[in-house]
Amino acid sequence: MVESRVEQLKGKLIVSCQALPHEPLHSSFIMGRMAVAAREGGARGIRANTKEDIREIQSQVDLPIIGIVKRDYEGSGVYITPTMKEIDELMEVRPEIIALDATGALRPEGLTLDEFFHQIKEKYPDQLLMADCSTVEEALHADELGFDFIGTTMVGYTEQSQNDKIETNDFEIIRKIIAKAKHKVIAEGNINTPEKAKRVVELGVFSVVVGSIITRPQLITKSFAEALE
């Protein structure tokens, strides 16, 4: 059942409906309505943060969800679903896919990605997992570990990828990952035009996640305002 729902994401758009506590749209109710708007616009899936937002979104739309929990821990740079606590929270609402940081950074309590991945698989063997990666090397390592989906979510957001841009040279990073990965690749990060979304699907990604350019009006407004200054 889950596999058939996830299969409907192939070649289609996933919209990231997230607003953090410091953002003006922070509210599970608002994210639920945002998901409705995304569905009406043609989105076939949603990426969402926290069990509360996911539960509300599930009550509003019947779309597969990539679930995460963003949480900061002292002494660790990993903030996307960093520990088993966040995995357990997400399993209360059972999103079709759970995404987590799959960079080389150590998780809280010094856990490596490999150790954490095996812990999740031991506890929830049937749960589909997505690796949020920042480099080709991280993506291929996650692929070898056995992540069901390999994402480019963290490109440009880590020290090892700070000089990289996902769209550079006709999405070279994505093309390199697709060429070697055995699992499905999901493009995410800086896909900010319909043309870019179409292009990465043409290159062979399974699906494409678009966020801020659709669901963060303060950032969209800023781009217009700055163009007029």
Q: How sure is the predictor about 159, in pLDDT bands with cuts at 50, 70 and 90? A: confident
pLDDT at position 163, please? 84
Is 162's pLDDT higher than 90?
Answer: no
Name beta bridge partners: 125: none
State the pairing for strand pair 13-17/45-49: parallel
The backbone region for 130, taken as left when phi is positive above 0, alpha when psi lies in -120 to 50, beta otherwise, is beta
Q: How sure is the predictor about 85, in pLDDT bands with cuts at 50, 70 and 90? A: very high
pLDDT at position 94, please? 98
List the domains of the chain with CATH numbers. Answer: 2-227 (3.20.20.70)
Q: How sure is the predictor about 28, in pLDDT bands with cuts at 50, 70 and 90? A: very high
Is 2's pLDDT higher than 90?
Answer: no
Sign of the dihedral through C-alpha 7, 10, 12, 18: positive
pLDDT at position 3, please? 85
| Over residues 149-175, mean pLDDT | 92
C-beta separation of 66 from 94 below 8 A = no
Percent of all residues in the chain with a pLDDT value above 90, rounded to a whole number: 93
Percent of all residues in the chain with a pLDDT value above 70, rounded to a whole number: 100
User: What is the SS3 assignment for 82?
Assistant: coil
Q: How sure is the predictor about 198, in pLDDT bands with cuts at 50, 70 and 90? A: very high
**H/E run at residue 117:** helix 113-123
pLDDT at position 199, please? 97
pLDDT at position 95, please? 98
Orientation angle between helical segments 113-123 and 136-145, nearest 10 degrees:
30
Is 147's pLDDT higher than 90?
Answer: yes
Orientation angle between helical segments 136-145 and 168-180, nearest 10 degrees:
20
